[in-house]
A and B are shown apart, each in its own frame.
Chain A
Amino acid sequence: KAGVTQTPRYLIKTRGQQVTLSCSPISGHRSVSWYQQTPGQGLQFLFEYFSETQRNKGNFPGRFSGRQFSNSRSEMNVSTLELGDSALYLCASSHGTSGGVQETQYFGPGTRLLVL
């Protein structure tokens, strides 16, 4: 099976712009979760989507949003970019149903976002 893919891999934006990141899960996985990784804050949970619905979200401002399509692909959008949004954004997929195997998350290679 192909792994989780993320596009683009690298992105440079300026303050005030918006950005959209894409994540394609492992075939058969219906849950996609997004994480932000920074040197200062470490890895933090942004939100999780399952069957096109946001099921849960972490403690991030409303500038961070996402969506999921019927094929389980997910996009994350950040509006009005700030310097502090520079980070590695990781998405992870799982089956999304109850059970240890079904809930285990597998990560993509990440998108490195630099905000200037």
Chain B
Amino acid sequence: AQTVTQSQPEMSVQEAETVTLSCTYDTSENNYYLFWYKQPPSRQMILVIRQEAYKQQNATENRFSVNFQKAAKSFSLKISDSQLGDTAMYFCAFMKPLMYSGGGADGLTFGKGTHLIIQP
């Protein structure tokens, strides 16, 4: 079974600053997907970024980028030029690819989340 750990329950930064959220995971798999989702107060879970473990290049999406360290099983999210709208719970998630999960999607395994507050 996989586990995902987010060691920062809450973080607070000023608007326009850069912030990094930490995530570590434990798995014996070699191929997998990692995701960051954000959940604002509306509770809608929104995909931020996806990383495929076989890709060495770190994924980026506009102001969001990851630092994927496969050997260290670390997957941090960097938010540049933070905005008030970035205030949300951020969840790191792990998923085995379909072809390795015995015929059906195993589902996402989530960390406990980091509450990120962007101060004006």
Task: List A residues at the B interface (Cβ < 8 Å).
Answer: 31, 33, 35, 42-43, 45-46, 48, 50, 54-56, 58, 88, 90, 92, 94, 96-98, 100, 103-110, 112
A103-B37 in contact (CB<8A): no
Of A50, A92, A104, A109, which contacts B104 at CB under 8 A?
Answer: A50
B104-A107 in contact (CB<8A): no
Look across to chain B and name the residue whose beta carbon is closest to the beta carbon of A112.
B43
Look across to chain A and name the residue whose beta carbon is closest to the beta carbon of B42.
A109
Quick check: is B28 within 8 A (CB to CB) of the other chain?
no
**Selected A-B contacts with CB under 8 Å, 24 pairs:** A31-B105, A33-B105, A42-B111, A42-B112, A43-B91, A43-B108, A45-B106, A45-B108, A48-B105, A50-B104, A54-B104, A55-B103, A56-B101, A56-B104, A88-B43, A92-B45, A94-B105, A98-B98, A100-B52, A103-B98, A104-B35, A107-B37, A107-B44, A109-B44
Q: What residues of A have a CB within 8 angstroms of the CB of B9 in the complex?
A: none
Q: What residues of A have a CB within 8 angstroms of the CB of B103 in the complex?
A: 55-56
Question: Do A107 and B46 form a contact, CB below 8 Å, given A97-B98, A100-B52?
Answer: yes
Q: What residues of A have a CB within 8 angstroms of the CB of B102 in the complex?
A: 56
Measured as residues with beta carbon below 8 angstroms from the partner, the interface class of chain B is 20 to 34
Distance in angstroms between the alpha carbons of A70 and B72 in the assembled complex: 43
Q: What residues of B have a CB within 8 angstroms of the CB of A42 in the complex?
A: 110-113
Question: Do A105 and B108 form a contact, CB below 8 Å, given A55-B103, A90-B45?
Answer: yes
5 closest A-B pairs (Cβ-Cβ)?
Answer: A55-B104, A45-B107, A56-B104, A107-B45, A43-B110
Distance in angstroms between the alpha carbons of A108 and B46 in the assembled complex: 9
Distance in angstroms between the alpha carbons of A94 and B105 in the assembled complex: 10
Tell me the smallest distance from the CB of B35 to a CB of chain A, in Å: 7
Of B99, B105, B110, which contacts A56 at CB under 8 A?
Answer: B105
Tell me the smallest distance from the CB of B3 to a CB of chain A, in Å: 12
Quick check: is B95 within 8 A (CB to CB) of the other chain?
yes
B109-A45 in contact (CB<8A): yes
Distance in angstroms between the alpha carbons of A103 and B108 in the assembled complex: 11
Quick check: is B11 within 8 A (CB to CB) of the other chain?
no
Look across to chain A and name the residue whose beta carbon is closest to the beta carbon of B105.
A48
